[in-house]
Each structure stands twice: as structure tokens, then as C-alpha cells.
């Protein structure tokens, strides 16, 4: 499976785990995506990661420990303007 499909599957898994309140599991699921080098962070992957960020926000767990850390990592991951990323 290519890194794009794998990243999509990992972010989908993270979203499912957030919905079940399994924040540590969500962190584990999204970790390989957040570790992708910049040149592999295309528009689709960045959008998927942003959905994880939005789900964390919607879960009401905005500023608590690991959630705050994860949100910060996602914000750093998505800081590269999408115009620079391969679509």
C-alpha cells in the first residue's frame, strides 16, 4: 500500500478512535502520518490530518495533556502552505 493510502487509513483509524474516546489509540494511529517527511505531505494527507485536529476539537478535549500536544503537532504538520505541497 502506498504512503498516501496508508496515511488515509491511519487518519481514518484515528478519527474512529477519537469518536470512541480512545485518545491514546488515536495518537498511536496518526503518529506514522505525522512522521512523514515534508515532501510526502500532499494536499490530501494534510486535509486528512486537519480532520483529526477538528475531531479533537469537537471532542471537547482541547487543552488536556496529550491532546494539547497532539493538536500542536498537527498544527506544526499543517503549517506548510498547501500551495507548496504536491496535489
pTM: 0.85
pLDDT tens-digit readout, 30-47: 999 999 988 888 889 999
pLDDT tens-digit readout, 63-73: 568 888 999 99
What residue ranges do the domains of the chain occupy? 3-77
Please spell the DSSP secondary structure of 15-72, one letter per residue. HHHHHTT-HHHHHHHHHHHHTS-GGG--HHHHHHHHHHHHHHHHTT--SSHHHHHHHH
Distance CA 86, CA 15 (A): 24
Amino acid at each position: 500500500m502506498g504512503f498516501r493510502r496508508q496515511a488515509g487509513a491511519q487518519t481514518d483509524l484515528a478519527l474512529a478512535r477519537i469518536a470512541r474516546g480512545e485518545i491514546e489509540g488515536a495518537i498511536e494511529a496518526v503518529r506514522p502520518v505525522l512522521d512523514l517527511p515534508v515532501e510526502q505531505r500532499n494536499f490530501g494527507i494534510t486535509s486528512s490530518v486537519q480532520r483529526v485536529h477538528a475531531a479533537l476539537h469537537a471532542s471537547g478535549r482541547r487543552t488536556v495533556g496529550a491532546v494539547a500536544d497532539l493538536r500542536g503537532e498537527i498544527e506544526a504538520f499543517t503549517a506548510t502552505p498547501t500551495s507548496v505541497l504536491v496535489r
